[in-house]
């Protein structure tokens, strides 16, 4: 057991990454608390308007479409540690300002809209720097483990943060909760300042930091295009669980908010397990691992959509969350371990643009289909999209690379893929 734990958490041996993980856990807890507090405040100020709630969510994601590539350009040109200090300072100032407005009783709905938009702008610029900074702390050898532990941190915060926020809102209301979330941006700033800069693997700034050059570099690489296209469709159609699970809980199983929270928790528990399992990976995932993960996720999500009872859906959400995070990490690791350091910031910005930017595009479509076809359709359509994309990409890859499938029954059943052209990295 000791050896297994050491293997799972081996990136934490690196002092700089250990400090980074501590700071991220604190800020992510605060961010999830902040999301719950803002959503609750919007409902209070708008008279329980679902449209207002959806608009606030969109305002946080639209900047990803507009600014992510510029964030990647900045990450390839400047010191990522200093950039993260600036971004955390911005979050601290914005959160403190919003908390003051709420505490003095002056908050109006448009204040929340402006606040959400500005938070989204900082997030869009910060994500590429944070994603590409991990490799500078741990190097490529431990990068898969570090990325998976970062995902585990995210999912742990997603489980604990909303629970803490809900309890605190019931006791002290939203103003003090927003003030607490502002303070959670202080620890990551302290941790960044405590890092040993001499132990960071700085990458030389790229000679050409144009966005167009990075896009051209990416689209010349079929091993990068495949996971990006796959994640755009599968993530956009299949990762809309805040919408699909809310509809499933309220309109299909006719349960309350607490029960909806249970479904979200089951998904998050599976996602946490998927992140921890992914942390054991040492090498770059193959394309076949990515495609298999997409297909398995699609099958499981479709099964959730057809679940005959609430408890069946709750049980199925655990492996669904597992495969969701396993797929996301496999894609992330395949991209990060396949690019050179000079392009990593901008390529990761493309990944973030595809992963998060697809939300404001596909979420309204999933919501509309759920109204027209039925509340379960958002789940099984997303699931079928995953299976279809995995099968299509596999067929195209086999044809392009002249892959033959060999099935052997003895001495034990197994299937082999034989490529007659040189295998890509």
Mean pLDDT estimate for the chain: 82
Domain span including residue 282: 208-425
Cβ atoms of 14 and 137 within 8 Å: the answer is: yes
**269-301 pLDDT, tens per residue?**
888 888 888 877 777 888 889 999 999 999 999
Let me know whether 131 and 257 are in one domain. Answer: no
Residue ending a domain, choose from 153, 168, 200: 200
Domains contained in the chain, number: 2
Over 90: is that where the pLDDT of 344 sits?
A: no
Alpha-carbon distance 41 to 110, whole Å? 12
Let me know whether 107 and 218 are in one domain. Answer: no
Average pLDDT over residues 170-190: 90
Cβ atoms of 349 and 73 within 8 Å: the answer is: yes
Let me know whether 41 and 76 are in one domain. Answer: yes
Higher model confidence: residue 208 or residue 51? Answer: 51
Task: Report the predicted TM-score, pTM, of the whole model to 2 decimal places.
Answer: 0.74
At residue 18 the predicted structure's pLDDT band, cuts being 50, 70 and 90, is: very high
Residue ending a domain, choose from 141, 167, 200: 200
**210-227 pLDDT, tens per residue?**
778 878 888 888 888 888
Over 80: is that where the pLDDT of 361 sits?
A: no
Let me know whether 148 and 54 are in one domain. Answer: yes
Let me know whether 195 and 212 are in one domain. Answer: no
Let me know whether 243 and 119 are in one domain. Answer: no
Over 70: is that where the pLDDT of 196 sits?
A: yes
Cβ atoms of 30 and 181 within 8 Å: the answer is: yes
Let me know whether 193 and 220 are in one domain. Answer: no
**138-166 pLDDT, tens per residue?**
877 788 888 888 878 877 787 777 778 77
Q: What distances in angstroms separate CA 279 from CA 143, 148, 271, 363, one per listed residue?
A: 9, 5, 12, 30
pLDDT score recorded for residue 422:
46
At residue 315 the predicted structure's pLDDT band, cuts being 50, 70 and 90, is: very high
Residue 1 covered by a domain: no
Average pLDDT over residues 116-133: 88
Residue ending a domain, choose from 157, 184, 200: 200
Cβ atoms of 316 and 182 within 8 Å: the answer is: no
Q: How many CB atoms lie within 10 A of CB 85?
A: 15
CB neighbour list of residue 396: distance below 8 Å, 6 or more residues apart = none
pLDDT score recorded for residue 280:
75
Q: What distances in angstroms separate CA 292 from CA 232, 297, 363, one per listed residue?
A: 16, 9, 24
Let me know whether 73 and 176 are in one domain. Answer: yes
pLDDT score recorded for residue 425:
39
HEC letters along 364-412: HHHHHHHHHCCCCHHHHHHHHHHHHHHHHHHHHHHHHHCEEEEEECCCC
Residue 3 covered by a domain: no
Comparing 71-75, 199-203, 264-268, the range with the smallest average pLDDT is 199-203
Instruction: Give the domain CATH number at 292.
Output: 1.20.1250.20
Q: Which two tokens stand for residue 137?
A: 């702390």
């Amino acid at each position: 057991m000791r050896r297994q734990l050491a293997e799972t958490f081996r990136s934490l041996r690196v002092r700089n990454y250990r400090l980074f993980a501590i700071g991220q856990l604190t800020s992510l807890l605060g961010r999830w608390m902040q999301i719950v507090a803002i959503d609750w405040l919007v409902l209070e100020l708008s008279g329980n308007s679902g449209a207002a709630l959806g608009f606030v969510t969109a305002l946080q994601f639209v900047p990803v479409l507009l600014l992510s590539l510029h964030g990647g350009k900045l990450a390839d040109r400047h010191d990522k540690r200093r950039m993260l200090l600036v971004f955390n300072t911005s979050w601290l100032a914005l959160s403190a300002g919003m908390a003051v407005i709420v505490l003095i009783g002056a908050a109006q709905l448009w204040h929340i809209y402006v606040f959400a938009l500005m938070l989204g702008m900082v997030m869009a610029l910060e994500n590429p720097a944070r994603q590409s900074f991990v490799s500078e702390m741990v190097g490529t050898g431990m990068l898969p483990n570090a990325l998976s532990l970062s995902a585990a941190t995210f999912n742990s915060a997603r489980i604990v943060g909303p629970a803490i926020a809900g309890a605190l809102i019931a006791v002290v209301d939203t103003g003090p909760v927003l003030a607490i979330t502002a303070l959670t941006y202080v620890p990551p700033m302290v941790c960044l300042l405590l890092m040993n800069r001499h132990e960071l693997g700085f990458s030389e700034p790229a000679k050409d930091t144009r966005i167009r050059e990075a896009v051209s570099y990416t689209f010349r690489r079929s091993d990068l295009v495949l996971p990006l296209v796959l994640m755009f469709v599968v993530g956009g159609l299949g990762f809309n669980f805040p919408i699909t699970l809310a509809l499933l809980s309220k309109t299909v199983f006719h349960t309350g908010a607490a029960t909806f929270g249970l479904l979200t928790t089951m998904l998050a528990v599976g996602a946490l397990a998927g992140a921890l399992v992914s942390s054991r990976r040492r090498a770059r995932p193959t394309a076949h691992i990515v495609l298999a993960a997409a297909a398995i996720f699609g099958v499981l999500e479709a099964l959730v959509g057809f679940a005959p009872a609430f408890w069946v859906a709750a049980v199925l959400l655990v492996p669904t969350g597992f495969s969701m995070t396993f797929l996301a990490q496999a894609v992330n690791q395949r991209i990060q371990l396949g690019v050179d350091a000079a392009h990593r910031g901008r390529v990761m910005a493309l990944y973030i643009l595809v992963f998060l930017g697809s939300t404001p595009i596909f979420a309204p479509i999933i919501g509309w289909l759920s109204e027209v076809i039925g509340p379960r359709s958002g789940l099984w359509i997303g699931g079928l999209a995953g299976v279809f994309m995995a099968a299509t990409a596999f067929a195209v890859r086999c044809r392009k690379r002249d892959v033959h499938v060999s099935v052997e029954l003895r001495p034990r059943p197994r299937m082999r893929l034989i490529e007659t052209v040189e295998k890509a990295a």
